[in-house]
Amino acid sequence: NTSGLTLSFVEDHPVDTELTQLIAVDKENTSNGNGIVKYSIASQNPQILQMFSVDANTGVISLIKPFNFSANTQFTLEIRATDSPAKGKSLSANYTLNIVVLQDKDTGPYFPVPVSTVDVLENITQGTRFLELKAVDRDAGALSYSIVSQVAEQQPSSAATQDHFSINNSTGWLTVVLSLDYEQVQRYHLVVQATDTAATKRWRSTNATLTIQVVNLNEHSPVFPPIQNLSLVEDFRLDSVIYQAIAQDQDDGLFGQIVYAFHLSDGSLALQDGPFSINATTGEVWLHSNLDYEKRRAYSLTIRGSDTLGNPSGKFSE
């Protein structure tokens, strides 16, 4: 027995084509038949005999049935060379041939569960994993992941042009690598690619498009500008606006919407305090009953501006 040859073929190698040729040498004289060599497959494995043939005269080994990487990745053939003496017993020698089947990427990877949109809180910690993108491939072999592109929907900002996300090339886990800020960027659009790793380097890939929506948080309190004292004549016209409270909030959405009310001395909130009333939406303060200088010469009003539509869990200033 002699071994020493390993050959590799892609699984879509054409049928009825030559794989290799083995040539045995017999030093005896061919005139009496001793030096004439005949070739055969020594193995009695039906699978081997169905897959391969050998030309008895030339030693050419051919593929007679298609490879299937998913079923078999390696075959071991015992090729026998036998002399043909006119008299006496024939002599033979075996040669072991190993055939390795390489995968032909005939299906390619795909994402079985498409993920189009995912929400991420704007205060998520840098370095936090938040989503695993998992592709599958009916062929054997590992997959490699990469981010092909990531685009931010933004107001012009140099920070927004930086890559805020990364992906583990082996596991497909997405990670936040830079701080998010809803007030700067509300959405990011990513294209993630999964690529197979066929030994033949005939790689195939598939893409998934993902929109990451940054979830707004209530980070800022409303801020009032300095308020000056107001002077009114006692016969000031009723149902007239005497002042408008305007607070600013750097948050967007509901967290940036401000509701106004009077903060009374007993701690409660109300839309009326004495002869004055306030519009909860606009912050306009109205005079709704007569003033009397002899009875009262001054009023101290505390106006509260609250975000999140006045929700107690929101932030406020006075």
Question: Quick count: other Cβ atoms within 10 Å of Cβ 236?
Answer: 13
pLDDT of res. 308 = 64
pLDDT of res. 141 = 65
Q: Which of 266, 248, 265, 258 is nearest to 308 (CA)?
A: 258
Record the tokens describing residue 7, joined without a space. 């050959």
Record the tokens describing residue 155, joined without a space. 């107001």
Distance (Å, rounded) from C-alpha 63 to C-alpha 47? 12
Beta pairing class for 185-196 and 205-215: antiparallel
pLDDT of res. 312 = 44
CB 118 within 8 A of CB 26: no
pLDDT of res. 58 = 87
pLDDT of res. 31 = 57
CA-based max dimension of the chain? 147
pLDDT of res. 178 = 93
- Which helix (H) or strand (E) is 241 found in, with range? strand 240-244
Q: What is the pTM of this model?
A: 0.51
Q: Would you write out the chain's pLDDT as a tens digit for each of its 318 residues?
A: 555 678 888 877 888 888 888 877 776 655 555 668 888 998 888 898 999 999 998 888 899 999 888 788 899 988 888 887 767 677 888 888 888 888 765 567 778 776 788 999 888 899 999 999 888 876 656 789 999 888 888 755 555 567 899 999 999 999 999 999 888 888 898 888 888 875 555 567 788 888 999 888 777 778 888 877 888 888 888 888 988 888 888 777 677 788 888 888 888 888 888 899 899 888 889 998 898 888 888 888 888 888 765 444 455 555
CA distances from 289 to 1, 35, 277 (A): 116, 130, 10
pLDDT of res. 305 = 84
pLDDT of res. 198 = 59
